[in-house]
Chains A and B, each alone.
Chain A
Amino acid sequence: MVRITTYDLKNFTEHLKDSTGLDFTEYAQAILRRRLEVFLNKWNIPDIESLLIKLQDSPALLNKFIEHISVDTTEMFRDPGFWRFFNKTLIKPLSKLEKINILVPFITSDDELYTLLVILFENNLLDRVKITATSPFEINLLRTASGLYTKKKFEIAEENYRRYKQNEVAEISTYFQIINSEIQFSTKLINHVKFVKTDLVSNYLEEEDHFNLILFRNRMIYFNLNLQNKILEVLYYHLAKSGYLIIGYKENISNFVLYDKLNQIDKNEKVYLKKR
């Protein structure tokens, strides 16, 4: 089994940044270390020096690596209680807007985006919605745009969706199709999304873009505090007045410098309203 030290990790992320432009230097260390160790073991690569060489030589391996490191592991309707809250509390104020501008930053596969699309569709809001989904990695954008989905994740989505719907009869399968024996999320819904390649920090969104909703659950946990704060500053700037910022219920942004300009609207959910 390959074991990686903090020194290895620092060395690796800096070299990777120099040679490929991929920046993982400010990712949460313990998680990044484990993901690297798992990747090395899975591909039978003896150490990080060899990995660096292989990544520079093989674009295919580099894509596998990015997908592995950027953690495609959420589920559709993860935490069904949250989505019930979302449907019950946030849809109403959003539906009063003439145009609803939504940002989903740092997507991976991305189940949060698909979940959001289902709920907006079920509330007849898709025609008024403009959704921007971003990622620093092309491969994640392509995969999300393709809608391709694994059977295992589909089964989890089915179960979560039933929990979300509680007593109603509900089948998530109506939002999927099977094409050449592959499961695919509805492209009709995905067509409402604009995919933008950006890490938000070094290359920006359109300056005039202001969002009524930013859905950002369980992504910051993969970054260190420094990067978190840089991203939060950008998101805060792009949050419209009275817009909502949503983070995971186990995430904490109370150290963010502009925290007092946000109002947490519920004691159990980390949903913040930008003060006027």
Chain B
Amino acid sequence: MASKYIIIGGSAGSFQTILQILNNIPKDYKHPILLCLHRLKHVRGGFVEALSIKSKIKVIEPEDKSLITASKVYLAPANYHMYLEVTNTIALSTEEPVNHSRPSIDITFASAAYAFQDKVVGIILSGANKDGAAGLKEIKHYGGTVIVQDPKEASVPVMPNAALTEVENPDHIYNTEQIIEFLNSINY
């Protein structure tokens, strides 16, 4: 079991932010990072490679029931939902899209919230729909930390704004630099 689980959700306009975050996190980061990003349904490959160019940590697309370990970035595969299980593993599913999305950020957030409770740090970035907002509420309910990208900074602020509407008292509203600073401050 890891001591924290960093779960990041993003859609339109989040790619550069993700690259910046991954570029500024050390290779031996003490926690696993799980990415749920809206992506093209029919394109299997390429995304891991695109993220790996800037990332110091190893980026992988997990298979079903993979173990979650520290110092790794897990990217939700195209056209699958990505759940986190109490057994510290990944569960993939082909269930119907949620918020028109598969992978859906709500599913990853909510399953992480239940499985790892106050160990979860949920971060929502730029995007054009409300996916992730309900999941962040679950993270808050189970005692985790909620971080919303500052809508003023987000290139498409719909998703951060939806999160701020849904979650009454998010722990932090941060810009990219502050997110990076926060992630490094809990690297122990």
- Tell me the A residues contacting B by CB distance below 8 Å: 3, 6, 28-31, 33-35, 71, 73-74, 78-81, 163, 218, 220-222, 225, 248-252
Contacts and interface: CB of A to CB of B under 8 A. Distances in A.
Nearest to B138: A3
B85 A34 contact: no
Nearest to B94: A218
Interface stretch (B20-28, B46-54, B76-84, B148-156): B76-84
B93 A221 contact: yes
B115 A30 contact: yes
Interface centre among B77, B80, B93, B107 (most CB of A within 10 A): B93
Size bin of chain B's contact surface: 20 to 34
B42 A250 contact: no
Contacts of A250: 61-64, 77, 80, 92
A252 B84 contact: no
Contacts of B96: 73
A31 B63 contact: no
Contacts, number: 69
Contacts of A6: 86
A78 B65 contact: no
Given A34-B83, A34-B107, A74 B63 contact: no
Interface of B: 42, 44, 61-66, 77, 79-80, 83-87, 91-96, 107, 110-111, 114-115
Nearest to A160: B42
Contacts of A81: 42, 44
A222 B86 contact: no
Given A29-B87, A81-B44, A225-B65, 5 more contacts: A28-B85, A34-B83, A34-B107, A79-B79, A221-B94
B65 A222 contact: no
A272 B181 CA distance: 47
15 contacts: A3-B114, A28-B83, A29-B86, A29-B91, A30-B83, A30-B85, A30-B115, A71-B94, A71-B95, A73-B94, A73-B95, A79-B44, A79-B79, A249-B44, A251-B63
